[in-house]
Each structure stands twice: as C-alpha cells, then as structure tokens.
Homo-oligomer: A and B are copies of this chain.
C-alpha cells in the first residue's frame, strides 16, 4: 500500500471530536453497524458529522485496535468494538446472520501473539452455509 498524503490520524493518544462521537455511540450499541447507519444515527441525534468523517474515524479507530470490522454478504463493512467480540453463522443465500457465543480460537490467537512479529488486534470467525428456510427455497428450484 502506498504512503498516505495526509499523515494518519491514527496513533495518537487523544481522540478527535469525531472519534469521541463515534466511539460514544458505539458503546451504546450491542451489535455491529455500518458506517452509514452510524452516520444516520449521529445526524438524528443532531450531532453534526460528515459521512466521510465517519469512514475516516472508523479507519483510525480500527488502526488503534479499538474497533473491528467484518463484511456483510451485501459487501458492506460492519463495525463493532473489539471488546464486543462475536462470531456468526451466516446464510449465503439470504444473508441473515446469527451470532455465536462459542469461540475456540482464543488459544491459537494467544500462540500467534507470542510467537510472531505481527501484532494481533482481533480475529473474525464466520461460518457460511444455508439456513433452513433457504435450503427449502433452493431445493424447490432443483
């Protein structure tokens, strides 16, 4: 990746105005949301913010290890706090996503953490397949 023209607003200790706004909102949410949803919510709360700023903010928070993201089946990025670590069972056909509680990966993550130069912030684990409804729907078309 090429060097950025604007130096990154990433590895500083203090939060910018928008970072504080976004972070505060996310702490009140219990699930992952898209940038556009965050944008709309903030606007509804009469908090002035631009969509581009939301994206820039989320990128910065991600590089600081505060926020994590995964991609929904429609190609949208869904953001959540790293602490709210959850995995999913996602239907390839309808895109519906069911949260999972179990996570057998923390052990491996610990190993990787101690043995590599790579600095791990978070991981995503997602199972893909067909939910029961979509299994039926597709069988009909056979």
Contact = CB atoms under 8 A, between A and B. Distances in A.
A63 interface: yes
A20 interface: no
Contacts of A93: 1, 63
Interface string A120-134: 111111111111100
Given A92-B63, A129-B118, A8 B105 contact: no
For the complex, would chain A's binding face be called helix, strand, loop or mixed by DSSP majority?
mixed
A138 to B, nearest CB: 5
A62 interface: yes
A116 B100 CA distance: 12
B62 A92 contact: yes
21 contacts: A11-B138, A62-B92, A63-B92, A63-B93, A63-B130, A68-B128, A75-B75, A104-B105, A105-B105, A117-B131, A118-B129, A118-B131, A119-B129, A119-B131, A119-B132, A121-B128, A122-B129, A123-B125, A123-B126, A123-B128, A124-B126
